[in-house]
Structure 1
Amino acid sequence: MSEKAARRQARQQVAAYHEAELAGLVAHVAGAIDQFRDGNLDPFDMDRVLFQYSRAAKELWKYCNLGNVDVVARYIREDPAIDWWKRGTVRER
């Protein structure tokens, strides 16, 4: 495989990973919205969920976009899965 084709494949792998992981984060928000609409979450809890989503999505974006695409694709293939939702958790002081 040529270097150009390998990089294209790596970009596609990273893009597919980013899309799938982002969909998982959005699913967390969708579930929280349903709970909010049912009266099981107050506005402050909903705000915390949205804030956690924002932090998690930013971490995911940085992971997928700020490094060498070949290295990121290898990490995606070989390293254990990352819990992006947990990465977005605000640490209590």
Structure 2
Amino acid sequence: MSAKSDRQVAREVVGAYHEGQLAALVDRVGGAIDDFREGQLDAFGVDHLLFQYSRAAKELWKFCNLGTPEIRARIIRDQPAVDWWERGVPRRR
């Protein structure tokens, strides 16, 4: 494979990973909205969850878009899965 095709494959791997992980984060938000509508979660609980989603999505974006695609693709393939939701937990002061 040429360097150009290697880079294209890496971009596809990273893109698919980003989409899949983002979908999992969005699914959590959907569940919280459903819980709110059913009266199981109040507006503050949804707000907290949306804040965590925002932080998690930003961390995921940084991972997928900063650095070279080849290195990111290798990390995706070779390293243990990252829990992006947990990465979005707000820090306590």
Q: TM-score range by the shorter chain?
A: over 0.9
- The residue identity in structure 1 corresponding to 2:3 is E
Look up the SS of the partner of 1:19 in the other structure.
Answer: helix
Look up the SS of the partner of 2:29 in the other structure.
Answer: helix
The C-alpha deviation readout for 1:10-31, integer Å capped at 9, x for no partner, is 0000000000000000010000
TM norm structure 2: 0.98
Q: Which residue of 2 is the match for residue 80 of structure 1?
A: 80
* C-alpha distance in 1 between matches for 2:26 and 2:75: 23
Q: After TM superposition, where is structure 1 displaced by more than 2 Å over at least 4 residues in a row?
A: none
The C-alpha deviation readout for 1:24-73, integer Å capped at 9, x for no partner, is 00010000000000011111110000000000000000000011111000
Number of equivalenced pairs: 93
- The residue identity in structure 1 corresponding to 2:42 is D
* C-alpha distance in 2 between matches for 1:65 and 1:12: 12
Unaligned runs of 5+ in 1: none
Q: Which residue of 2 is the match for residue 25 of structure 1?
A: 25
Look up the SS of the partner of 1:13 in the other structure.
Answer: helix
TM norm structure 1: 0.98
* C-alpha distance in 1 between matches for 2:42 and 2:25: 20
Q: Which residue of 2 is the match for residue 64 of structure 1?
A: 64
- The residue identity in structure 2 corresponding to 1:89 is V
- RMSD between aligned alpha carbons? 0.5
Q: CA deviation at 1:91?
A: 1.9
